[in-house]
Amino acid sequence: MHAKDGDDFGGSARPSTNPQPVKTFDAGIIGGDEYAECIGISATSNIPVDVDHASSVPISRRKKVIIVGAGINGIQQASTLLRDGCVTLSDIQIVDALDDYGGVWKKNVYPGCACDVPAMIYTTSYEINRDWTHFYAKREDIQTYYGNFALKYGLDKATQFGSFVESCTWDEDRMVWHVGIINKASGEKEHWIAEVICQCVGSLDRPKFGNTPGRENYKGITWHTAHWNSNYDLTDKRVAIIGCGPSAAQIIPEIVDKTDQLTVYMRTPPVCVPRNDFAYSSLTKWAWKWVPMFAWLFRMRMNLRMMWYGRRMAMKGDPTNERMTEAAVKFMESQISDPNLRDKVRPHSKYYCKRPLRLDNFYPALAKPNCTVLREDLVRYTEAGVISRDNGKEVEREFDVIIYGTGFNVAQFLEHEKVTGIGGVDLQKKWRAHPEALYGLATSGFPNMFYCFGPNSAHVWSSQQDNWEQQARLATKFVREIVERARVGKKLAVHPNRDAERNYNTAVQHGQSGVFVWSDASCVTYYKNDDGWNTYTMPWTWWQFRRMLRKIRWEQWEVIEKPISEPKISID
């Protein structure tokens, strides 16, 4: 089943030198308390704020919109609201656990951190960055761009950093959300109230560690790539990296020459192709700034090319995918001469089964004499290091440092928040089998809560920015409706009807089955849950998605409306 254009679907605090181990669940995924510890909060109560105490909430903590997250999505959602004019800065509140804008580009400070999406399309359509120096951008450049973006719209006047959203509870009588926020500096739990919640927390903020037992037993130095310890010197140390995804692959070339011995535990060889980065010419950068529409057309051309050619790279059986898969193998062979190492790192999956690497220095780093690549199964962690199994024999290796490059929990959403909707329904219980949302934007039973980059919002073959922009615009249309009806004495709340949500998500799954390489059972990827349900990607191009979200389709939404009556909560 393939959806055509416009289809309807149914009616931080810095880690210590040796941080305390983080508890794991079955798949090494951290929960609410553990996540709070990772971002510098000692503990959370998991007890929602008391809705009966609404009258005691000060005016300064009552907002039309609370935006959770000050990364790319939060900045984009806030600026979209302000550009629309339906709210002012005083009507919104942005909350983030970090101490500055940028989200993952603020948090991830590991050496070599950079983006694998062309810089020009890693921007919004209405705030194109004309200062990119290279085809790909480094972490610092991206954070600077989005930080300046936020300041341009005055978002610093409406942002509270160092604050962790612990709970969101829907108040059916007042038709507002009660939000419990922990202030990292004071430890106080603050009670906020909002008519609308925009969850802009992204998907790369919840580290996972794998399910190898005994991690708490290790006595050496350890951290996750997402919480890089910049204070620790790796010079002449015996270092292990667990995993070999995009973050680990960027780190390996940066640290291999410092270490005495670097051991890479690689479960699955990644697919890697040349980065082919280059500096933009002075003429191009001049034209971006001074030739009318040139930057916009430059970005659009790149987006259209990625929409067409990039999508074909991910399609099962497409000649473009076959060529890229073959090219990745040839690239590896051109970089590594040792036949034994070639066999270890030879990719066996199709291009885009997992996110491909675009690195020129990855394979040369693996080939260095002080780097060892192991394809052994991890058995358990010990006080001194790691026990792995090689051809049935258990081998223990000792390390001074273990770095977890084990990725993030992207298959679940909002696990670190206690979100309670209509009738006391818990969001994580509703999503126990698998998360799903209409357009990746909203879920039935949770009125006036909108997600940016919710379930099945991703394009892995292109930039996400245009999808996020469309989600932000549709959420803004709903905020405008809520504000306009309040002016005539009515309170409005909306959430998807169950049929529309179910039909849409059926289309999401069917639209990918047998079409993209990750739909094969042989492809093990973070896009899918253990039962094979895809929670991450969508089958449509950004242009199709844009047409689907261009207007509110009221037949897909449950509408709750009632007159504003005393006692009411003023949020003006």
pLDDT at 3 over 90: no
Q: What is the CA radius of gyration of the chain?
A: 24
Q: What is the pLDDT of residues 327-373, one digit of tens each?
A: 999 999 999 999 999 999 999 999 999 999 999 999 999 999 999 99
Q: Exposed, middle or buried by CB within 10 Å (0-12, 13-18, 19+), for 211? A: middle
Domains of the chain plus CATH, in order, are 32-206+410-563 (3.50.50.60), 215-279+285-404 (3.50.50.60)
**Residue 7: which pLDDT band, with cuts at 50, 70 and 90?**
very low
Average pLDDT of the chain is 90
Kindly report, residue by residue over 421-474, the tens digit of the pLDDT: 999 999 999 998 889 999 999 999 999 999 998 999 888 888 888 999 999 999
Percent of the chain with pLDDT over 70: 91
Q: What is the DSSP letter of 156?
A: G
> Could you tell me which of 544, 557, 439, 411 has the C-alpha nearest to residue 498?
557
Under DSSP, is residue 538 helix (H, G, I), strand (E, B) or coil?
A: coil
User: Quick one: tokens of 532?
Assistant: 């094979």
Q: Tell me the per-residue pLDDT of 117-159, one tens digit each, with 9 for 90 and over.
A: 999 999 999 999 999 999 999 999 999 999 999 999 999 999 9
**Residue owning tokens 């037992």:** 213
363 or 410, higher pLDDT:
363
Question: In this structure, what are the phi and psi dihedrals at residue 327, rounded to the nearest 5 degrees?
Answer: -65, -35
Largest CA distance in the chain: 78
Rounded Cα distance, 387 and 383, in Å: 10
Q: Round to whole Å and give the CA distance between 55 and 116.
A: 49
The rounded distance, in Å, linking the Cα atoms of 117 and 106 is 17
Answer yes or no: is pLDDT of 569 > 70: no
Q: Decide if pLDDT at 505 tops 70.
A: yes
pLDDT at position 38: 55
Is the entire prediction scored with pTM above 0.75? yes
Answer whether residue 388 shows pLDDT above 80. yes
pLDDT at residue 242 tops 90? yes
For residue 398, the Cα-to-chain-centroid distance in whole angstroms is: 33
DSSP per-residue letters across 318-330: -HHHHHHHHHHHH
101 token code pair: 């804008």
Taking the alpha carbons at both ends of the chain, their separation in whole angstroms is 46
The H or E element spanning position 164 is: strand 163-171
User: Of 192, 180, 182, which is closest to residue 48 (Cα–Cα)?
Assistant: 180
Question: Token digits for 125?
Answer: 């359509």
Report how far apart, in Å, the C-alpha atoms of 560 and of each of 146, 284, 445, 515 are.
36, 52, 11, 39
Asked whether the predicted pLDDT for residue 64 surpasses 80, the reply is yes
Two tokens at 15?
Answer: 């880690």
Q: How far apart are CA 78 and CA 73, in angstroms?
A: 9
Which residue from 537, 448, 452 is spatially nearest to 175, judged by alpha carbons? 448
Q: Which long-range contacts (CB under 8 A, 24 or more apart) does 345-349 make?
A: 345/266, 345/269, 345/373, 346/269, 347/269, 347/270, 347/271, 347/272, 348/268, 348/269, 349/268, 349/271, 349/517, 349/522, 349/523
Query: Torsion-angle region of residue 424: left (phi > 0), alpha (psi -120 to 50) or beta?
Result: left
Strand partners, 208: 29
Does residue 22 carry a pLDDT above 50?
no
- pLDDT value at residue 40: 58
- pLDDT for residue 225 is more than 90: yes
Listed in sequence order, the residues at least 6 apart from 323 whose beta carbon sits closer than 8 Å to its beta carbon are none
Whether residue 416 has pLDDT greater than 90: no
Contact (CB, 8 A) for 113 and 138: yes
Question: Across residues 30-35, what is the average pLDDT?
Answer: 50
CA distance 134 to 281: 9
> How do residues 306-315 score in pLDDT, each as one tens digit?
888 989 999 9
Pairing type for strands 490-496 and 557-563 reads antiparallel
Q: Which residues contact 109 (CB under 8 A, 6 or more apart)?
A: 139, 228, 230
> Would you say 227 and 405 are in contact if contact means Cβ atoms under 8 Å apart?
no
Alpha carbons 468 and 466: distance in angstroms, whole number = 5
